[in-house]
Amino acid sequence: MQIQDLPNGAKWVPKYLDRTEQEALVEEIRQIAKESPLFIPKMPKTGKPMSVRMTNCGPLGWVTTKERGYRYQATHPETGKPWPEIPKVLLDLWKTLADYPHQPQACLVNFYESSAKMGLHQDKDEEDFAAPVISISLGDTCLFRIGGESRRDPTKSFKLESGDIMLLTGKSRMAFHGVDRIYPGTSTLLKQEGRINLTLRRVGGSGV
Ligand code: SIN
Ligand code: FE2
């Protein structure tokens, strides 16, 4: 395993998952999306739809609506059902990489079509910032951008490929980050063009 250090303590592990592991994980995500369909998240206040589609697994899921903004909840906003469990392979991955004594509580599943992107933002809807955020990329390559704790801090961009892991830990836990673009057709992992990103997170205080 080759870990590359990025500014502010962020870590990038290229090709952490091999092709077979990626295929198995995509199959698990397909099952999750069957039970817990992808939905189109809406920006708070404006109600503008985001370009990614999302779902979750784990005890809690991240959702956003025009009326109630960003939050974590135990049920799917459309079906009202609890989110499916986090696949074991992801719990194992967290155990290996997170350096944190408790399991993740939320796994956000983002699906990017070829034209989707995600603006610069901080992950700050959690109460527990001691735990890292671990992100896993599957499918087409994307251009990922990461800066510092202020929106005005300089940013660095690099390409995340299928199987790559990114760890937002230490100071980088609160770093602004986003996805500027997808490079369609750069991976054959998914049946269609696009990219899946999974983010594992702790939401509440330790012991929850
Ligand atoms: C996110 O910040 O929620 C997603 C990041 C990514 O897609 O790599
Ligand atoms: Fe994020």
| CB distance 111 to ligand 1 below 6 Å | no
Pick the atom of ligand 1 nearest to 160's CA.
8
Residue boundaries of the structural domains of the chain: 4-201
CATH superfamily of 4-201: Alpha-ketoglutarate-dependent dioxygenase AlkB-like (2.60.120.590)
What is the pLDDT confidence band of residue 117, given thresholds at 50, 70 and 90?
Answer: very high
Tens digits of residue pLDDT in 134-186: 999 999 999 999 999 999 999 999 999 999 999 999 999 999 999 999 999 99
pTM: predicted TM-score of the whole model, two decimal places:
0.96
Residue 28, Cβ density class (10 Å: 0-12 exposed, 13-18 middle, ≥19 buried): middle
pLDDT at 150: 96
pLDDT at 128 over 90: no
Hey, which residues does 199 pair with through a beta bridge? 108, 135
Pick the atom of ligand 1 nearest to 137's CA.
8
Neighbours of 33 (CB within 10 A): 18
